Amino acid sequence: MRKDRAFRFLLLLSGILIIILLSGIFLSLVFSSIPSIKEFGIKFLFSKSWDPVNNQFGAVPFIIGTLLTSIISLLITIPFSLSISIYLSEYLKNKTISKILQTLIELIAGIPSVVIGLWGLFILSPFIRNIQIKLGIPPIGVGIFTASLILSIMIIPYSASIGKEVLSLVPDEVREGAISLGATDFEVLKGILLPFSFKGIFGGFVLSFGRAFGETMAVTMVIGNANRIPTSIFSPGQTMASLIANEFTEATSTMHLSSLIEIGLILFIISMLINILGRVIIRRVSF
């Protein structure tokens, strides 16, 4: 009996450890951001200048960079991941091909982000540069658009797998009912399946957005690392995550380091909120 009690205690302890871990993460971030929070207050979120030399720090260029890259990448992702979800769960009847396709799509998610970044830097960027030359815009190659493309490659597998799962939750009776009334596959999809699973698919996109929001390495390598507000979708920029990756080891002053950690705190809070929101939406769908 005593062993039993000890065992139950150990289980409970592991659960409590998770609580301690997460609160520890949050408190450490807050605590180390204090110098910057004290100095800049709420202005930190509205100031455009990031100037380590004069110890002036504001997050606006990076908030905009992060929002731009994640929104554009999500927009690119939507048609692809919707198609994959629909194709795999509704159209493709051949089990073997379906398995192969699914494995290939999931393998993309398995490629390390730094390798995708390397590919983006040396193969995709020169390609984009050629297009920019043809379009007559400054040929930089790296920038917001390239980063968004890379991000969408990385989040398509994620949102597609959620979408497929949600679609497969729709009961077959509903499908069959519509088909027996004479609806074409497309009409079943438009009239029944998509409205039925809309929330789940939407939740999946919210979670994918969260992924794109915090992705670091690949973005750092192709975004151009310019600490200013991007003027077009082709101009170089900086996201919150890439800023930390670039400057953290070089930060010498306390204020610089503390400001970077405050950026990390903002990243933490936003990605936590996005995550919880996405999961709440999806959980409502699961029957």
Partner 1 sequence: MEKEIRKRVLIDIVFKKIVTIFTYLSIIPLFLIIYFVMARGLKYINLRFLTQLPKPMGEVGGGIFNAIVGSFIIVGIASLIAIPIGVISGIFLSEFKDSKISEFIKILVDTLQGIPSIVIGIIAYLWIVKPLKHFSALSGSIALSIMMLPIIIKSTEEILNMVPNEIKEGAIALGAPYYRVVLKVLLPYGFVGILTGILLGISRILGETAPLLFTAFGNQFLNFNIFKPMSTIPYVIFVYATSPYKEWHNQAFAASVVLIIIVLSINLIGRFFEKRWKT
Under rule CB under 8 A, which residues in 128-147 are in contact with partner 1?
none
- Half-sphere exposure at residue 177, Cβ-oriented, CA atoms within 13 angstroms: 8
Task: Count CB-CB contacts under 10 A for residue 45.
Answer: 13
Per the document, the length of the chain is 287
Of residues 224 through 253, those in contact with partner 1 by CB under 8 A are 241, 244-245, 248-249
Give residues 260-279 in contact with partner 1 (rule: CB under 8 A).
260-261, 264, 267-268, 271-272, 274-276, 279
The only residue of 178, 221, 223, 255 in contact with partner 1, by rule CB under 8 A: 221
Q: Does 91 bind partner 1 (CB under 8 A)?
A: yes
What are the b/e assignments for 161-189, b being 16+ CB within 10 Å? Answer: bbbbbbbeebeeeebeebeeeebeeeebb
- Cβ at position 118, least distance to partner 1 in Å: 5
Query: 17: which 2 tokens?
Result: 């450890």
39, 87, 140, 179: which one contacts partner 1 (CB under 8 A)? 87
Shortest approach of partner 1 to residue 135 CB, angstroms? 22
Judged by CB under 8 A, the chain residues 99 through 128 that form the site for partner 1 are 101, 103-108, 110-119, 121-123
Cα–Cα distance for residue pair 259/94, rounded to 1 Å: 54
* Shortest reach from residue 165's CB to partner 1, in Å: 13
Q: Which residues from 160-199 bind partner 1, rule CB under 8 A?
A: 160, 184-187, 189
CA gap 242, 141 in Å, rounded: 17
Rg of the chain's alpha carbons, rounded to an integer?
23
**Plot region of 55 (φ>0 → left; ψ -120 to 50 → alpha; else → beta):** left
Please report how close the Cβ of residue 82 comes to partner 1 at its closest, in angstroms: 8
